Amino acid sequence: MPYKDPERKRQWEREHREQRNVSRRIQRFGRKARVLVKPAPPTLVKETDGGWRTILGLAVGLGFVLLAALSGVELFAPNDPPL
């Protein structure tokens, strides 16, 4: 495409602009697609504990609340204004 006449060069570029854009697009997305196609490394599947820790935590929390209620713990002193 080495034209001596700059006007002929501009004319050629105008006529072939779409073709050049398509080839650039293919090159650009082709590179990205090859990078994205790489297989991911295998991951280990974490086994769940069945939720027993959550149930145990709720049971312990409920136990503390019941123990505090039965022992007569007051959250607010009678003379203190409410929050």
Count helices and strands (H / E) in the chain: 3, 0
What pLDDT is stored for residue 68 in this prediction? 84
Q: What are phi and psi of 17, to 5 degrees?
A: -60, -50
Mean pLDDT, each 10-residue run in order, the chain (83 residues): 80 89 81 57 68 88 89 70 61
Full-model pTM: 0.34
What pLDDT is stored for residue 63 in this prediction? 93
Cα 27 from Cα 31, distance rounded (Å): 6
Ranges of each domain in the chain: 6-36
Are the CB atoms for 65 and 75 separated by under 8 Å?
A: no
Q: Per the structure block, which two tokens stand in for 58?
A: 């709720």
